[in-house]
Amino acid sequence: MGSGTKAPAPGFDRRTPASPGMKRYFFLAVVLLTSVPGVKPHTAVTINSVGLVILPSTSVASGTNVSLNCTVDISVLGSQPLLFQYKLLKNDEVVYSKNHTEQTLFYPIVGARASHSGRYKCSVTVESKSQDSQTKRLNISGLQKPTLTLSAQTVMEGQEVLAECSAPKETGSFIFYFHKGSSESMQSHATTNRAEKKIVFHPGERSAVIYCNFRIMTLPEAGESDRSNAVNVTIRELLKEPLFVIKPSEHIIEGDSLEAECSAYPQSSADTQILLKKGANILNVTRGRVTYSWTPRAEDAGEYVCVAELSLVKKETAKTVSVQELFSRPVLTPQPQEVNEGESFNLTCRSTSITKERISADDVKYSIYKGSQLLSPEHVNGVYSKKGATLEDGESYFCNASAKNITKSSEVMHFKVYALVSNPTIRVTDDVILGKDFKIECFSEWGTLPISYTLLKAHETINTTVQRHSRDRALFPVRIKRKEEIAEFKCEAQNRGPHSVKQSGMLNVQVIEPVSAAVLTALPNIVEGTNTSLSCAVQSGTPPITFKWYQTGNRKPLHTNFSTNNVGIYTFRASRDQSGTYYCTATNRALETKYSNQTAISVNLAEWKTTVIAVVTVLMLVCVAGFCVLWFRSRKAKKERDAELSVKPSSPTADEPLAVSLTNETEVYNAHKGAVPHCDVTEGKAANGTRDSIASFPVNSSSRSSRSSPVTV
């Protein structure tokens, strides 16, 4: 094989697209081979590649014929024809499919449009094996020029025409635009390539040019199409402007009468409706001709419009009426502008301008009203005076000016009469505690707001506040160090300048002095069963004072006393278990609790109990002493008997010799020396009180005699 080209394996045929002349032979061969008994189908096929070619180019103008060619390259075992399944996809959706025996598929697009733009690819399946080509994009630039048709090209005013815009070669979802001249545009949405729109021609239009274009919503990148053909429309006049006449003139003076006449043009239909209006108000309406008569006022000046209506057509004729004032609107003026109770005031009603060609100043009559009440008739000259204003005079006033059957009212004027402030009251809002902040309030029962309040102390200004609303309060925070300072405060109030100043009296309230340190006083030694008092006292403090007594270790007070002086007494009947340490507390409305010193109290026994204890103690001592004496004497007597027995033993028997042994240190008991004999019965020995003097006797009791026997020493 030539330079690096690998020969196909034996029995494999690398196929290229067949020529057109061979197509019929391949097809016949496939039919014959599949119909001959014993012929087996191909057992091995591999797809080498699938290609897609767009001709003449991937970007063409609208209306160009485009061909999409799909080619498959395979390797097979044998030479039997194969059946290929082709699918052509646009934007991943199948747009064309075909089973074909050839290795090339041609898909033509005749007169391609923007809707044909998209991403295309070819998919081929053969012998259960599939492969896709690379995706290629086809761009169709430009849109078809639409066609416009109208139901009529000559119409009357107000008549409609039906316009149809179509682009038969385009597909997709559309927005059609209908244009009347260059200023008016209408839209119509459609899912087909045509749309209709009703076009109305306005009064005054005599001709119009209609055209259309469109846009495909699914292809925004394609933009708008070119304009369609333009159609000229001729509009005939249906109704002419009405005739409008105002007599005697459009320029008058108040008090003059006017008549307006409005009628349809003589050639107009008898069905024409005529109406006369001013602004939004319709003055009169009828068919064919309308009249209206009135005596305008200055405020009636302005534009009047005569309207003729027929079917959907409306024509108007307007005229402007100017009305000169016969006299100006009156003005009510108070003098002075504001007054206090008891002061005098005047109200004057005047028109500042009068048309002297028609009337004189004396022809204008004035009347003044307080609310809805006409003031007394003698005030027709336009002046109302009153001495000694009261609060009831603070009302709403207005006046009327009348001449030649024309009456004009002034604006409503609110006249104010001030109530001078009354003498203020000074008070405190809470308890006054020495050394602590409290608030002083100043208020007046009477007086028109705003009221200015000033707090003075010893004739010096402390602070000033203004009460502007009834809910406001004049409060001044202060503090005093001495009780006497409370009487130095007073208030000033004013609401109409310095001449309205009123003063309160001096502040007179109780000043609460906090209690000083408490002192607990009690007897240190108290006798049980007696009435005992614990006093708790303070040096200073405003009563009432609350005293409480406590025993250490117990938070609950033993007693509470409300005292109107500086000392509180707690009296109780003493008992032994009340011994301990006590303290007390003192407090008053200043809410400062002061603690006393701690005092130890001892409750002693009652005197009779002491006497009984002493007597009992003495008796017990006597009994003990007597018992000791008796015991001593009994012991002494016993010892003497024992000693006597030891000196005089009983007589021995005939067969038992008597043996007595005495030491050489034995001494005779001498009673006057106070020697105390000791006897040890157990050992059978006797001692006379002298060291080492011991006498030994036989211990056998059977040999003893009841008689005394002389002993030789």
User: Is 684 inside any structural domain?
Assistant: no
Task: Tell me the pLDDT of the chain averaged across its residues.
Answer: 81
Q: How confident is the model at residue 528 (pLDDT cuts 50, 70, 90)?
A: confident
**CATH code of the domain containing 536:** 2.60.40.10
Do residues 257 and 314 both lie within one domain? yes
Q: What is the reported pLDDT for 576? A: 80
User: Is 175 inside any structural domain?
Assistant: yes
Give the whole-angstrom CA distance, residue 238 versus residue 319. Answer: 23
End-to-end CA distance of the chain: 175
Q: What is the reported pLDDT for 292? A: 92
What is the average pLDDT across 10-38? 42
Taking the CA atoms of 354, 356, 361 and 367 in sequence, report the sign of the dihedral they define.
negative
Q: What is the reported pLDDT for 669? A: 38
Q: How confident is the model at residue 646 (pLDDT cuts 50, 70, 90)?
A: low
Residue 32 pLDDT exceeds 70: no
Q: What is the reported pLDDT for 604? A: 72
Give the whole-angstrom CA distance, residue 66 versus residue 87. Answer: 18
DSSP 655: T
At 225-247, the pLDDT tens digits run 889 999 999 888 777 888 899 99
Q: What is the reported pLDDT for 88? A: 95
> How many domains, the chain?
6
**Of 195, 216, 236, which marks where a domain is finished?**
236
At 332-352, the pLDDT tens digits run 999 999 899 889 999 999 999
Give the whole-angstrom CA distance, residue 458 versus residue 485. Answer: 9
What is the average pLDDT across 392-416? 92
Do residues 278 and 227 both lie within one domain? no
**Residue type, position 416, single letter:** K
At 426-437, the pLDDT tens digits run 999 999 999 999
User: Is 497 inside any structural domain?
Assistant: yes
- 209-232 exposure pattern, b = at least 16 Cβ within 10 A, e = fewer: ebbbbbbbeebeebeebeebeebe
**Residue type, position 336, single letter:** P
What is the average pLDDT across 398-406? 91
Say if strands 59-61 and 136-141 run parallel, antiparallel, or are unpaired: parallel
Do residues 152 and 187 both lie within one domain? yes
Do residues 166 and 181 both lie within one domain? yes
User: Is 169 inside any structural domain?
Assistant: yes
Q: What is the reported pLDDT for 608? A: 63
Give the whole-angstrom CA distance, residue 45 versus residue 118. Answer: 32
Q: What is the reported pLDDT for 649? A: 52
Do the beta carbons of residue 594 and residue 516 sit within 8 Å? yes
Residue 470 pLDDT exceeds 60: yes
Give the whole-angstrom CA distance, residue 314 versus residue 308. Answer: 6
* Helix intervals (H) in 551-701: 607-647
Q: Which domain holds residue 210?
A: 147-236
Residue 252 pLDDT exceeds 50: yes
Q: Which of 135, 121, 138 is nearest to 59 (CA)?
A: 138
Question: Residue 297: beta bridge partners?
Answer: none
**Of 588, 604, 620, which marks where a domain is finished?**
604
User: Is 695 inside any structural domain?
Assistant: no
Give all strands (DSSP E) within 434-507, no chain letters.
Answer: 438-443, 451-457, 460-467, 474-478, 489-494, 502-503
What is the average pLDDT across 23-34? 43
User: Is 595 inside any structural domain?
Assistant: yes
Q: What is the reported pLDDT for 313? A: 80
Give the whole-angstrom CA distance, residue 598 versus residue 602. Answer: 13
User: Is 623 inside any structural domain?
Assistant: no
Q: What is the reported pLDDT for 707? A: 37
Tokens of 10: 């034996």
Minimum mean pLDDT among 150-159, 339-348, 364-373, 531-540: which range? 150-159
Residue 483 pLDDT exceeds 80: yes
Q: How confident is the model at residue 519 (pLDDT cuts 50, 70, 90)?
A: very high
Do residues 258 and 341 both lie within one domain? no
Do residues 410 and 430 both lie within one domain? no
Q: What is the reported pLDDT for 653? A: 47
What is the average pLDDT across 509-520? 92
Q: Which of 103, 106, 122, 123 is nearest to 23 (CA)?
A: 103
What is the average pLDDT across 448-475? 93
**Of 365, 395, 418, which marks where a domain is finished?**
418
Q: How confident is the model at residue 178 (pLDDT cuts 50, 70, 90)?
A: very high
User: Is 349 inside any structural domain?
Assistant: yes
Tokens of 85: 């399944």
Residue 468 pLDDT exceeds 80: yes
Q: What is the reported pLDDT for 269? A: 65
Give the whole-angstrom CA distance, residue 586 versus residue 516. Answer: 8
CA triplet 410, 416, 422: central angle to 5 degrees? Answer: 175
Give the whole-angstrom CA distance, residue 36 versus residue 33. Answer: 5
Check residues 66 and 26 and name the one with the higher pLDDT: 66
Residue 701 pLDDT exceeds 80: no
**CATH code of the domain containing 469:** 2.60.40
Tokens of 442: 């100043």
- 493-526 exposure pattern, b = at least 16 Cβ within 10 A, e = fewer: bbbbeeebebebeebeeebbbbbeebbbebeeeb
Q: What is the reported pLDDT for 574? A: 82
Q: Which of 343, 524, 332, 522 is nearest to 419 (CA)?
A: 343
Q: Which of 119, 89, 85 is nearest to 105 (CA)?
A: 85
Dihedral through CA 618, CA 620, CA 622, CA 626, nearest 10?
Answer: 180
Do residues 532 and 600 both lie within one domain? yes
- Establish whether the linkage from the previous residue to 168 is cis, with ω within 30° of 0: no
Do residues 338 and 307 both lie within one domain? no
Do residues 345 and 431 both lie within one domain? no
Q: How confident is the model at residue 607 (pLDDT cuts 50, 70, 90)?
A: low
Give the whole-angstrom CA distance, residue 242 versus residue 288. Answer: 10
What is the average pLDDT across 662-668? 37
Q: What is the 3-state secondary structure (H, E, C) of 126-193?
A: ECCEEEECCCEEEEEECCCCCEEEECCCEEECCCEEEEEEECCCCCCCEEEEEEECCCEEEEEEECCC
Dihedral through CA 292, CA 297, CA 303, CA 308, nearest 10?
Answer: -10
Residue 80 pLDDT exceeds 70: yes
Q: What is the reported pLDDT for 37? A: 44
Q: How confident is the model at residue 77 (pLDDT cuts 50, 70, 90)?
A: confident
Residue 451 pLDDT exceeds 70: yes
What is the average pLDDT across 87-102? 92
How large a percentage of the chain has pLDDT more than 90?
45
- Contacts (Cβ under 8 Å, ≥6 apart) of 608: none
Give the whole-angstrom CA distance, residue 103 versus residue 152. Answer: 57
SS3 state of residue 624: helix
Measured CA to CA in angstroms, residue 268 lies from 224, 524, 706 at distances of 45, 132, 193
Do residues 226 and 152 both lie within one domain? yes
At 185-218, the pLDDT tens digits run 888 999 999 999 998 887 778 888 999 999 998 8
- 616-638 exposure pattern, b = at least 16 Cβ within 10 A, e = fewer: eeeeeeeeeeeeeeeeeeeeeee
Do residues 583 and 560 both lie within one domain? yes
